[in-house]
């Protein structure tokens, strides 16, 4: 199963460095998962980007269509408590810690796709396989 955080998910809808890596991993692994938070975070991020023409609306529509394929991991009180521990232990930003806490709820093996190096380091410390930049295991 491939778990995507928002740094990876955005690259599916906006062509930038790392987009080919995301597309390759999403094509290779057809089971996708993400935190329930990722949909909102990605939609808001897409709204804030300066995309030409109708690019912003098209990207948001593609995300909405794709989202039905994702296994969505809920964010509840237990998850938030776990995220607080992860964030404190690894000095992560709040949302990065929440993504990791939701990923940690899933059965292993799990591949975590992120372009956030601090989050990648924390995920590895938690025993999660991490891929990202240039497709290598981070």
At residue 53, the pLDDT reads: 61
At residue 49, the pLDDT reads: 82
Q: Which domains does the chain have, with CATH numbers?
A: 2-135 (3.40.50.1010)
Using one digit for the tens of pLDDT, what is the confidence trace for 13-33? 999 999 999 999 999 998 999
Q: What is the mean pLDDT of residues 27-56?
A: 88
Predicted confidence (pLDDT) at residue 73 exceeds the cutoff of 90 = yes
Say how far apart CA 81 and CA 41 lie, in whole Å: 20
- Predicted TM-score (pTM) above 0.85: yes
For residue 72, the cross-strand partners are 34
At residue 48, the pLDDT reads: 87
Sheet containing 70-73: which strands, arranged edge to edge? Answer: 70-73, 32-35, 2-4, 111-113, 129-131
Using one digit for the tens of pLDDT, what is the confidence trace for 89-137? 999 999 999 999 999 999 999 999 999 999 999 999 999 999 986 445 5
Predicted confidence (pLDDT) at residue 138 exceeds the cutoff of 60 = no
Say how far apart CA 88 and CA 50 lie, in whole Å: 34
At residue 134, the pLDDT reads: 46
Residue 48 main-chain phi, psi, to 5 deg = -85, -15
Say how far apart CA 48 and CA 133 lie, in whole Å: 23
């Amino acid at each position: 199963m491939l778990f995507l955080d928002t740094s990876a998910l955005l690259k599916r809808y906006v062509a930038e460095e790392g987009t080919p890596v995301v597309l390759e991993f999403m094509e290779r692994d057809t089971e996708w998962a993400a935190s329930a938070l990722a949909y909102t975070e990605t939609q808001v991020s897409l709204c804030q980007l300066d995309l030409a023409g109708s690019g912003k609306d098209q990207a948001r529509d593609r995300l909405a269509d794709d989202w039905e394929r994702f296994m969505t991991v809920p964010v509840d009180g237990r998850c938030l408590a776990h995220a607080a521990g992860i964030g404190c232990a690894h000095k992560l930003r709040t949302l990065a810690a929440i993504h990791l806490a939701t990923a940690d709820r899933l059965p292993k093996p799990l591949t975590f796709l992120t372009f956030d190096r601090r989050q990648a380091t924390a995920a590895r410390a938690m025993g999660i396989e991490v891929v990202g930049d240039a497709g290598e295991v981070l």
